[in-house]
Amino acid sequence: MKLLEDRIQKDGIVLDGDVLKVGSFLNQQLDVPFLSEICKEFYRLYRDAGVNKILTIEASGIAIAALTAQYFNVPVVFAKKAKSANVASDVYKGTVKSYTHGVVVEAVVSKEYLHKNDRLLLIDDFLAKGSALEGLLEIAKASGATVVGAGVAVEKAYQGGGDGLRAEGIRVESLAKIASMSKKDGIVFC
Amino acid sequence: MKLLEDRIQKDGIVLDGDVLKVGSFLNQQLDVPFLSEICKEFYRLYRDAGVNKILTIEASGIAIAALTAQYFNVPVVFAKKAKSANVASDVYKGTVKSYTHGVVVEAVVSKEYLHKNDRLLLIDDFLAKGSALEGLLEIAKASGATVVGAGVAVEKAYQGGGDGLRAEGIRVESLAKIASMSKKDGIVFC
């Protein structure tokens, strides 16, 4: 999606440790009018998929999930990150590794908010190795709900998470796919 | 606001420990069409205040902040919760006590996203003792920005946080103000 690619080229900053900083518009500052515009594309892609609920994970997925939900006119459920010890029995859970922070957390959703007749669209801001989406898929599977697919704003395609999920048969749509990035050569899209 | 009061009466559950559970529509499931409707009221209240940015705190403030920002056509900045040890020097910080979880965290915002000419509207889902808003005020003050006021969905008025802030001269607008609540007598609004 050219609109997002252009914005990433303009405002994204490649940092050490393979980090793309887009904090000025996607996290932690949220350019809401812009994000609402790009979320329209998730609706265009999934409008015929029978989505009745959007599932995301706190914190940076919440804004784009909520803005996307407006087009679908459906609720959002967000998974909370919990220390394993705190996880109660009345939740569905999935394991999420954060490569940025080097920690493993349990993502949890109360059982009352996911049902086996739900048709879920997974939404997140970033897809790198795919761990957050894998955690959400684990939660969805435990609930018996159907996952119609995933929508992410930025996919770091060279990290392989997106293709791994596609190989498992999951539909994954990314608004901007990064083929490579470095401080020296900048950001190259697929 | 009758719309929100009615919804709280219908779907809110009073739990032990003075907790009002509204997870089915405000957190962790977000009834986005409904929340967008109630956020319009924040715009009506603050439309003439020259708001150029909304400041909130992760995670449950993000959705209503983003939905409110659409009416104002402004960006959202959300404070992240950090262990004190992790707080870098390039951030503004404020202290937030969570009475629900019994912990103290630092709320931080990168200095690049708040400026002294900003006119901030603070948004959060709940106001009880006022600690989250106090933390956001501390951050705003450190940045030199002007706080035009705060908007919260649910104020537990009997806990005194809102009146404490009003006594400090902060404009605080709540969409639903709870005078008292108990399992036995239910929820009574002001």
> Which DSSP string do the residues of B113-148 spell out, in sequence order?
G--TT-EEEEEEEEESSSHHHHHHHHHHHHHT-EEE
pLDDT digits (tens, 9 = 90+) for A12-56: 999 988 899 999 999 889 999 999 999 999 999 999 999 999 999
CB B139 within 8 A of CB B93: yes
Classify residue A130 by its DSSP letter: S
Looking at residue A83, its pLDDT comes to 64
Instruction: Work out the minimum CA distance from A128 to partner chain B, whole angstroms.
Output: 21
- Is the ipTM reported for this complex over the cut 0.90? yes
* Residue in the block written with tokens 């909520």: A66
Task: Of B151, B149, B147, B150, give the one whose Cα is nearest residue B175.
Answer: B151
Rounded distance, CA A40 to CA A59, Å? 21
Looking at residue A123, its pLDDT comes to 98
> Tokens standing for A71?
């087009």
pLDDT digits (tens, 9 = 90+) for B31-90: 999 999 999 999 999 999 999 999 999 999 999 999 999 999 999 999 999 865 555 679
Q: Tell me how many helices (H) and strands (E) chain A has.
A: 5, 11
Instruction: Work out the minimum CA distance from A63 to partner chain B, whole angstroms.
Output: 5
pLDDT at A57 over 60: yes
Query: What share of chain B has pLDDT > 70, as a percent?
Result: 96
Q: How confident is the model at residue A100 (pLDDT cuts 50, 70, 90)?
A: low
Query: Shortest CB distance from B110 goes to which of A23, A74, A80?
Result: A23
B123 at A interface, C-beta within 8 A: no
* Sequence-separated (6 or more) residues with CB below 8 Å from residue B96: B57, B81, B104, B105, B106, B107, B131, B132, B134, B135
Query: Shortest CB distance from B113 goes to which of A29, A75, A80?
Result: A29
Looking at the domain that runs over A2-189, which CATH code has it been given? Answer: 3.40.50.2020
Q: Is the pTM of this model over 0.90?
A: yes
Q: Write the burial class of residue B83 (CB in 10 Å: 0-12 exposed, 13-18 middle, 19+ buried).
A: exposed
Domain boundaries, given as residue ranges, for chain A: 2-189
Q: Is A54 helix (H, G, I), strand (E, B) or coil?
A: strand
Query: Shortest CB distance from A110 goes to which of B28, B67, B74?
Result: B28
Interface size, chain A vs chain B, as Cβ–Cβ contacts under 8 Å: 101
B51 at A interface, C-beta within 8 A: no
Q: How confident is the model at residue A84 (pLDDT cuts 50, 70, 90)?
A: low
pLDDT digits (tens, 9 = 90+) for A122-131: 999 999 999 9
Q: Where are the alpha helices (DSSP H) in chain A?
A: 2-11, 32-46, 61-72, 131-143, 161-167
Selected for mutation to probe chain B from A29, A40, A56, A139 (highest B CB count within 10 Å) is A29
Classify residue A28 by its DSSP letter: S
